[in-house]
Amino acid sequence: MSLKQLFTILVLTLIIGVSGCGFKLRGSAEPLPEPIRQLSVVGIDSGSSFYKVLAQGLKDAGATLVAAGEVVEQAKVTIHKVEPLREELSDSGGQTLYRTSYIVSFSLNRGDEERLIDSRQIRASREFSFDSNNPYGLEQQDQLLRSELQRDLIQQLIRQIRAAGSKN
């Protein structure tokens, strides 16, 4: 058997193995359960970047966003707090270590009475070092990290919403 044939067999075996094991790409999960597909998001400015990314993530997960109170049995995600933070951890040898964090506090109700998720916080952070003698690009790096953290937190939020909706 030639090396080319062996390589082809190995690649095909890996493809079949990965496709048969139930592996799914991140973000390609099942849609939200039916009881919570109609959602309203309250407590956050609908013009904010966090809201826009959250709304798109919920739509990608099969949700229909409606205005609060529009549908009686809708689920309501209440965002209590979205707090981006950037803190300087250390400064030595011309390198400054920064931490960029996001904290999101939220709850999930269905209708007026049924609480699916009590008030809960999720957080994510990234640390990066930067040359303090050359500050150009610090803001761009921080913005890039914040957008990645937003996406990560929104995926966590949607997974928790999906899990809470599956229980009921």
Cβ atoms of 118 and 107 within 8 Å: the answer is yes
Q: Where are the domains of the chain?
A: 33-167
Q: Looking at residue 27, what is its pLDDT? A: 54
pLDDT at 72 over 60: no
pLDDT digits (tens, 9 = 90+) for 2-32: 888 888 988 888 888 777 666 555 555 578 8
Cβ atoms of 148 and 26 within 8 Å: the answer is no
Q: Looking at residue 23, what is its pLDDT? A: 59
pLDDT at 1 over 80: no
pLDDT digits (tens, 9 = 90+) for 108-145: 888 777 888 888 898 888 887 777 777 677 778 778 88
| Nearest of 9, 8, 29 to residue 154 by alpha carbon | 29
Look at 36-45, 53-62, 78-87 and tell me which has the smallest mean pLDDT. Answer: 78-87
100-105: average pLDDT: 86
Would you say how long the chain is, in residues?
A: 168
Q: Looking at residue 137, what is its pLDDT? A: 73
In degrees and rounded to multiples of 5, residue 59 shows phi and psi of -65, -40
Cβ atoms of 39 and 140 within 8 Å: the answer is no
CA pair distance 97, 49, nearest whole angstrom: 26
CA pair distance 15, 37, nearest whole angstrom: 34
| CATH homologous superfamily of 33-167 | Lipoprotein like domain (3.30.160.150)
Cβ atoms of 50 and 157 within 8 Å: the answer is no
Secondary structure (3-state) at 23: coil
150-156: average pLDDT: 89
For 147-167, b/e burial (b = at least 16 CB within 10 A) is eebbbebbbebbebbbebbee
